[in-house]
Structure 1
Amino acid sequence: MKTYIPKNDEQNWVVVDAAGVPLGRLATLIASRIRGKHRPDFTPNLIQGDFVVVVNAKQVVLTGGKLDGKVYTRYTGYQGGLKTETARQALAKHPERVIEHAVFGMLPKGRQGRSMHGRLKVYAGETHPHSAQKPQKIEAR
């Protein structure tokens, strides 16, 4: 008896509108689509997911007190170089990074997770340059 191994020849593109959707719900939807967990032949050791295009990233919603309570930190590499910004400041400056940070935290760590990072495209406005791929629109609740 042979073991069935699905082929990774199918690459779908989907568009998700982030306007008015809570960040956590949006990130779980995107991470599961990138991993391929929506497919009936999901295999954890293969990358079978879709390419996900997120539009209207600046209109994503953070519930509760997360807008001022959530803090993003990064280290510059210099002494005393720990920089922090709140979610409100991050959404005003670069809303794409807020969604990317949430999604990348839900992807696997390691070689496979790093290769999945290229499947996420996030844009602050409504337009995106991926119309040639004919992406399907999916609803985020």
Structure 2
Amino acid sequence: MFINNNKTYIKKVSYQKNWYVINAKNQNLGRISSKIAYILKGKNDVTYLPYQESNTNIIIINSKYISVTGKKQKEKTYKKHSGKPGSLKINTFNDVQKKMPNKIIQHAVKGMLPKNSLGRKLLKKLKVYSDNKHPHNSQKPIHLTTN
């Protein structure tokens, strides 16, 4: 008779939160969004589990200076619909960048996160600001440079 004493050990998420600050000035939208999603999911941590929420918060500054390649500034569109007939609003990248530059990065990262309750929780940990200033100075964030 064989008795298996091997038990699966699942490490609990640590309670210490990691804060990252990423400067989006002159960065490519797709490349920086994929790095943000990678860190938000916790894939850069040794204790990564796909179903566990990581204790990582990300602050993006200078979102109004994000760039895209090719003809995307004129051709990329963002659609919004209220559900009523004839209420479809279509805006180009330039229009959204002038009015709501934070929505561009949030929209790109949201598409790269899981489409379930975990993805919604992770998106709440992303803070995007259009300028250099942010109210999270007391957390002692880690400044990341993306090249």
Q: Same fold (TM over 0.5)?
A: yes
Name which of 102, 123, 139 aligns with 1:117.
123
Aligned counterparts of 1:38 and 1:49: Cα–Cα separation in 2: 12
Aligned counterparts of 1:140 and 1:78: Cα–Cα separation in 2: 42
Letter in 2 for 1:98: I
Q: Where has structure 1 moved over 6 Å in runs of 4 or more?
A: none
Match of 1:5 in 2: 10
TM-score, normalization: structure 1? 0.97
TM-score, normalization: structure 2? 0.93
CA contact (8 A) 1:56 1:124 kept: yes
Letter in 2 for 1:75: H
1:39-50 to 2 correspondence within 5 Å? Answer: 39-50=45-56
1:33-44 to 2 correspondence within 5 Å? Answer: 33-44=39-50
Q: CA deviation at 1:21?
A: 0.6
Q: CA deviation at 1:49?
A: 4.7
Aligned counterparts of 2:133 and 2:118: Cα–Cα separation in 1: 29
Q: Does 1:16 align with 2:37?
A: no
Q: CA deviation at 1:12?
A: 0.3
Give the match's secondary structure for 1:105: helix
Aligned counterparts of 1:36 and 1:91: Cα–Cα separation in 2: 28
Q: Rg bigger for which structure? A: 2
1:1-141 to 2 correspondence within 5 Å? Answer: 1-9=6-14, 10-141=16-147
Q: Where does structure 1 lack aligned partners over 5 or more consecutive residues?
A: none
After superposition, the C-alpha distances for 1:4-52 in whole angstroms (9 at most, x for unaligned) are 2122123200000000110001100100111000012210010115100
After superposition, the C-alpha distances for 1:60-104 in whole angstroms (9 at most, x for unaligned) are 111111111100001022210000000010001000000000000
CA contact (8 A) 1:35 1:49 kept: no
Percent pairwise identity: 37
Aligned counterparts of 2:9 and 2:137: Cα–Cα separation in 1: 34
